[in-house]
Chains A and B, each alone.
Chain A
Amino acid sequence: MENIEFDASAATAERDEEAEMENVEFEASEIEYVSYGGEHHLPLIMNLVDQELSEPYSIFTYRYFVYLWPQLSFLAFHKGKCVGTVVCKMGEHRNTFRGYIAMLVVIKPYRGRGIATELVTRSIKVMMESGCEEVTLEAEVTNKGALALYGRLGFIRAKRLFHYYLNGVDAFRLKLLFPRSELHPSLPQMADKYDSHMQSDHRDASFKE
């Protein structure tokens, strides 16, 4: 009933509704998901985000996220090429321990195949295991793809933020509430749901706050 369009960017300022003309053929199993492993991944992430967003961030913004929370950032590779990334953080916010999704990008030819969902899911899983009570992010109200993606993962549109973006577009604050263990004594094991394609690369970050 709801037309579900897979489209990845959570933080894009511009929406491109074109049909995907240069779609790349690939099998889902050909996508390699990697946890942020160090400085060598930083330019890959930056290039992806710069490419897709009209307002690039300074390098310090990326460093803030990937240095303090390397375990929350993931990259997706296809045949050695970086095709997608997610960048997040978590921390205490008004007495709740909360995760925040800062950037999510998948390059156009690879959209519509679940890569963004997989990236986000891996990050949320780590947040959940780290004790987060909820996860939040903002998305433009016109970003149907992102809203559908997060909606499927259990996010609700908690608030509408009037003219949040300087171009006058409103935003939704999306929130995912994890079940509180006292309400759900028998939660299905989340780990069972996913293949262990994920390569956990937990090298120490060179800078720790």
Chain B
Amino acid sequence: MAENRACEAPSLLPRATIPSGDNSFWADVSPLLDAACQDLQEGELIHGDNFNLFAAMSALEIMDPKMDSGIACTYYSLDEAIENGVAPVPISTDKTTDVQCVIDIMDHLLACEATWHKGHSLAQTVYSCLYLLRPERTSSHALLHSYCKVIRATCKTILSVVSEARTHEEEDLFTMAYGLPLSGDGDEKCLSMLNAVEETISRQLRACKATSSKRRVSEDIEPLQNNPDLEEGYCKSLLCRLRFRKHFYHLLTSMKRPQGRGLELARKHIASCISEIDHIQKSSEFLRENAHGMSEQNIDNTTASGCQPIGFDASLNCRLSAPTPPRSIKILCWGKALEYFLKLLQDLDVVCSYSLDPSLEAALLFVVKFQKSQPDLVARAHLQLLLVQDGKLYGRDPMFSMITRAAGLAEVTENHEIQKNEFMVQLGQLVINLLKILCTNAAWQRRKLGKMLQDWRVTYVQLEMSFKGEFEEASKTSNNKKICFKIYQHILAWVEEQTYWIAFRFLNLGFELELYSVHDYCMVYWYIYVVLIKLAEKKHLRMAMNSDSAKKKTKKKRDSFKDGEMDYHIPAAVLFLQSQIYLAEGLSMMFAALRNECRIVPLQSPFNTEHEIFIQQFELLQKACVPDHISYATFKESTMHANFSTLAICDYFKEAQRIAKEVKSSFANDPDTMAELRRVEQVAERNSIALNVCRAGALDPKLKISFTFCHHPFYATAIVKRS
């Protein structure tokens, strides 16, 4: 077996026969099929009780390689493949070749792993490795055996994290592992085995270095491979790969520790992983130079050496993969795989650096910021599990106290009877769901946020009614009533504020996801404007209630926000929103003016009108009455008279710019908000200029107007050019 080491990549061998089983035998049905073909005319179809045209769509054409996965199989079974020497152990009797091949296997496995993380199935990626499929076969080869163990253990850990997070519906290929040997015997001890192998190779490295410097070596150790000139290079290449796996596995187990207890240690392992990746990358030159010519060139470039790895066959698992035959996938190249892991490590480092601030607002802001770097599934799943565990924030802080704290009710003790209120419990669940949803990919997230609005609205109404009922209980003392009233008011205000926050995120995510066309911008900015007004109102209300001395200001009219005077009682956070209100309104009016002045040709669909577009775009918001009294009619009323001369009267952009500039100083120790304000300022300034140009050249047909998001992810900047 070891002599006839298969060095070619498995090719399409003509198979003699698939053997009959004990209770089965093969019969030739070609005559029957022929007769059936003669019997059916073109266009006819067999009818059956449970077979109709719809079912017929799932038909497979036998021997079509795209549909009949059996035809493209190299071997009928794993046993057959092994018998044919596809995954020999050891890979070569020549130790140098054996080491080279093991490194190729390690590299290709890394590429498979990255491909799996990116959204494919385990069966077609990592478990295309035959050595992993039969764990016991590698037991005589310490290096390969320990490596396979740590791979299995790592995949199992990551799989459990993603499964537990349970928000991967659109990435569900990831968790399919039916029929795959995820746990080998003794895999939990993988690290001790790996350490032993690492120790041996370290000694081999020391020995070869001593030999080269002609120093006497104290211990007599057999070298890793045959060629003394290459010993150092191969030892180092192996060591960095083994160490990467060790630290990566440690990282995962550290992060799993409850309540974020292992985060600091995890960061140390992340740093080690990144350092080892650097060594792995640097090893490629040596490996390429000394690549054995025994193997075909690796066209997919999944190994550092450039050689095809031995022992992989994706087609063997195709029956385990899915109900339908799996499409062939492309494994990431080695360079891209390393890039992927670097990004993953960076994202995990951000997660591990989080301070676990016992504040809902901080947690929400952290997730929103984290998502800006577009982390992948594995990083997001880890964040989610850190944030929400056992129904508590960070597995530590009960949701009830987080909510009351966020609502400004610091003095409400955890034992207050209000937490037993069924709608308070429901609210706690809504907050947990919100945190989980915010960790999903943007496309999925937006849909869920939209659907969530009704739940938040309904909960608000239920809480209001329930509080009213409890408040009116005769048994309460008047002092008790005062406290209860305060609690109710705070919580209700906070719930409303959160609802509008969700609505705002729902709307602005549409830009990131490219869901809006230019023709939609006018109404989208208008809706953002009305939502932001409510958000600012509710936030102001809540903050005003929080300060003991301030009387509740009755700034209910939305025009009050447009007072020229800067009211120093308005908190900076509210002013921040106010600058955005002006910016959004300005943008909406600008688009309306551009359309009314015929600078943008309105959409003239033969099938529907702007009204239908409005209904569809804001369906979920309208259903949840977020906000109330908003309709297509109110939108039209606000925008149909916009033109360049009316815009001269209220310069929304100038106001936005002014407020953003003035409130920046309040955020001196909040670099993120400072940066955001700067962006708002920039967009406002540029749009103000663009508007002036439009006004001045209103009748100039050569003026070309376009829009860019390079200054801000969702507030557009107009660019006016003369063509």
Q: Which positions in A face B, CB cutoff 8 Å?
A: 1-2, 39, 55-56, 58, 60-61, 63-64, 67-68, 121, 124, 128, 141, 147, 151-154, 156-163, 166, 168, 170, 172, 175-179, 183-184, 190, 193, 206-207, 209
Q: Are B444 and A154 in contact (CB under 8 A)?
A: no
Task: With both chains docked as a complex, state the minimum distance between the C-beta of A64 and any C-beta of chain B, in angstroms.
Answer: 4
Chain B residue with minimal CB distance to A66?
A: B53
Report the Cα distance A112→B608, complex, angstroms: 24
Known contacts A157-B514, A160-B513, A162-B170; A58 and B600 CB within 8 A of each other: no
Task: With both chains docked as a complex, state the minimum distance between the C-beta of B519 and any C-beta of chain A, in angstroms.
Answer: 7
Chain A residue with minimal CB distance to B326?
A: A166
Q: Are B519 and A159 in contact (CB under 8 A)?
A: no
Known contacts A64-B53, A177-B612; A159 and B605 CB within 8 A of each other: no
Task: With both chains docked as a complex, state the minimum distance between the C-beta of A67 and any C-beta of chain B, in angstroms.
Answer: 6
Chain A residue with minimal CB distance to B327?
A: A166
- B50-68 residues with Cβ-Cβ distance < 8 A to A are 52-54, 56-57, 59-61, 66-67
Q: Are A179 and B119 in contact (CB under 8 A)?
A: no
**What are 22 sample pairs from A and B whose C-beta atoms fall under 8 A apart?**
A1-B600, A60-B57, A63-B53, A124-B607, A147-B517, A153-B605, A153-B607, A154-B613, A156-B517, A161-B170, A162-B171, A162-B444, A163-B170, A166-B329, A168-B118, A177-B608, A177-B613, A177-B616, A178-B608, A179-B609, A207-B53, A209-B53
B611 / chain A contacts, CB cutoff of 8 Å: 179, 183-184
B609 / chain A contacts, CB cutoff of 8 Å: 179, 184
**B701 sits at the interface (CB 8 A):** no
Q: Are B613 and A151 in contact (CB under 8 A)?
A: no
Known contacts A128-B607, A161-B170; A1 and B706 CB within 8 A of each other: yes
**B615 sits at the interface (CB 8 A):** yes
Interface range on chain B (Cβ under 8 Å from partner): 35 or more
A58 / chain B contacts, CB cutoff of 8 Å: 57, 59-61, 67
Task: With both chains docked as a complex, state the minimum distance between the C-beta of B604 and any C-beta of chain A, in angstroms.
Answer: 8
Known contacts A172-B515, A206-B43; A190 and B606 CB within 8 A of each other: yes
- Against A, the Cβ 8 Å flags (1 = close, 0 = not) of B472-515 are 00000000000000000000000000000000000000000111
Q: Are A63 and B612 in contact (CB under 8 A)?
A: no
Q: Are B605 and A154 in contact (CB under 8 A)?
A: yes
A121 / chain B contacts, CB cutoff of 8 Å: 606
Report the Cα distance A156→B608, complex, angstroms: 11
B617 / chain A contacts, CB cutoff of 8 Å: 156
- Against A, the Cβ 8 Å flags (1 = close, 0 = not) of B323-350 are 0000101000000000000000000000
**B603 sits at the interface (CB 8 A):** yes
Q: Are B513 and A61 in contact (CB under 8 A)?
A: no
Q: Are A156 and B616 in contact (CB under 8 A)?
A: yes
Task: With both chains docked as a complex, state the minimum distance between the C-beta of B441 and any C-beta of chain A, in angstroms.
Answer: 5
Q: Are A162 and B443 in contact (CB under 8 A)?
A: yes
**B286 sits at the interface (CB 8 A):** no
* Residue from B54, B608, B611, B704 having most chain A Cβ neighbours under 10 A: B608
A2 / chain B contacts, CB cutoff of 8 Å: 517-518
Report the Cα distance A63→B171, complex, angstroms: 31
Q: Are B606 and A163 in contact (CB under 8 A)?
A: no
Task: With both chains docked as a complex, state the minimum distance between the C-beta of B296 and any C-beta of chain A, in angstroms.
Answer: 25
Known contacts A61-B57, A128-B607, A190-B607; A151 and B517 CB within 8 A of each other: yes
Q: Are B53 and A1 in contact (CB under 8 A)?
A: no
Report the Cα distance A39→B43, complex, angstroms: 7
Task: With both chains docked as a complex, state the minimum distance between the C-beta of A208 and any C-beta of chain B, in angstroms.
Answer: 10
Q: Are A60 and B600 in contact (CB under 8 A)?
A: no
**B417 sits at the interface (CB 8 A):** no
Report the Cα distance A142→B171, complex, angstroms: 20
- B669-713 residues with Cβ-Cβ distance < 8 A to A are 704-707
Q: Are A193 and B608 in contact (CB under 8 A)?
A: no
Known contacts A39-B42, A121-B606, A193-B606; A158 and B600 CB within 8 A of each other: no
Excluding A63-B56, A207-B53, 4 further A-B contacts by CB distance (< 8 Å) are: A153-B606, A158-B515, A161-B170, A162-B170
Q: Are A60 and B53 in contact (CB under 8 A)?
A: yes
Task: With both chains docked as a complex, state the minimum distance between the C-beta of A131 and any C-beta of chain B, in angstroms.
Answer: 14
B603 / chain A contacts, CB cutoff of 8 Å: 151-152, 154
**B189 sits at the interface (CB 8 A):** no
Report the Cα distance A179→B605, complex, angstroms: 12
Chain A residue with minimal CB distance to B52?
A: A209
Task: With both chains docked as a complex, state the minimum distance between the C-beta of A136 and any C-beta of chain B, in angstroms.
Answer: 11
A175 / chain B contacts, CB cutoff of 8 Å: 616
A157 / chain B contacts, CB cutoff of 8 Å: 514-517
**B45 sits at the interface (CB 8 A):** yes
B608 / chain A contacts, CB cutoff of 8 Å: 154, 176-179
**B447 sits at the interface (CB 8 A):** yes
A60 / chain B contacts, CB cutoff of 8 Å: 53, 56-57, 59
